Amino acid sequence: MFELCFDKCTEGNLNELKFCYNNPIGSDMIVNLDLKLNYGPINGDIFKAQAMREIDIYKSFFKNVSENECNSCYKEKLHSINSAILKINKQLKTHGILRLWISNNAFDRCALYWFCNYMKDYDCKINVVMCPGVEISANKNKLTENTRWAAFDNLPYMASFAKNVRELTKQELELYSNLWQELVEKNAPLRVLIDNKIISTTDDFFDNVILSCIAETPQSQATIINRFLGKWYCADFCFVSQRIEYLIEKGKIKIVEDKVNDDGNYIVRTICRVESQRNI
């Protein structure tokens, strides 16, 4: 079975199932096409756009990034994408079966729509394993939120969902392809998953939520971002970092301490909310 996922952590889980748990899902090949299509432009060459975004991600962790580092980051990301596409194309051209592991978030939903548009000219069987979402435990007094394959720590339990695989119909493939084309036409700065639908919106959509995660007492920016992403898995570290920069410029957040580590490049920043933003 050809497994396709859209993030590194899910790929890691699938590889661990294959090599450490006697391959209960019967994987022949595991491919990660690491695309984050829920924010940024999507009306041009999305592979190059994703590679450019990788530079922004790198800059959100490191300061004084050189041009050579940016070029290396760009080339590595583009190589990773192209390598995955070559494997996918081979499977599509040979009319092989692909099994997609789709989480309940905007990342994977946008990737699913893009993929259905990408493969629309191929006659190929596409199976999907959807993440279960919120589940009630056996004793019915505990809710477990399993919305991302990447977050599963019980891997044999994750493998059990491979039995729930569902083949996408031609009508579904066409629908998702059309939905992708609609997203491209709007080309909004941000795409979010609301009530099981992808909505195009402005990039300030989560600003108030980000502000609510920031106290008036100084805290590490990395801690704040991780707290936000833990509750709202709707973006990545880079996106939230960029929104914080915007809110700093607008005077809603202030920098308490901004320094680099002993290597002279890693950003160590402490921030707090400006007091007047208490009720935002």
Report yes or no: 274 and 252 within 8 Å, Cβ to Cβ.
Answer: yes
Element holding 130 (H helix, E strand): strand 125-130
Read off the pLDDT of each residue in 11-16 and give the average, rounded to a whole number.
94
pLDDT at 17 over 90: yes
Report yes or no: 121 and 92 within 8 Å, Cβ to Cβ.
Answer: no
- Residue 142: its pLDDT value, please? 61
More confident residue, 79 or 275: 79
pLDDT at 143 over 60: no
What distance in Å separates the CA atoms of residue 226 and residue 214, rounded to the nearest whole number?
12
pLDDT at 110 over 80: yes
Residue 106 DSSP one-character state:
H
Percent of the chain with pLDDT strictly greater than 90: 65
- Residue 137: its pLDDT value, please? 56
pLDDT digits (tens, 9 = 90+) for 21-43: 989 988 889 999 999 999 999 99
Read off the pLDDT of each residue in 179-193 and give the average, rounded to a whole number.
96
pLDDT at 254 over 80: yes
67, with CB counted inside 10 A (0-12, 13-18, 19+), is: exposed
The mean of the pLDDT values for the chain is 89
Helices 106-118 and 170-186, packing angle to 10 deg: 110
Read off the pLDDT of each residue in 132-148 and give the average, rounded to a whole number.
64
pLDDT at 136 over 60: no
- Residue 256: its pLDDT value, please? 93
More confident residue, 172 or 258: 172
Question: Which amino acid, 86?
Answer: L
What distance in Å separates the CA atoms of residue 38 and residue 190, rounded to the nearest whole number?
6
**Least confident residue range of 41-45, 84-88, 202-206, 262-266:** 262-266
More confident residue, 21 or 230: 21
Written as six digits, the tokens of 112 are: 């699913």
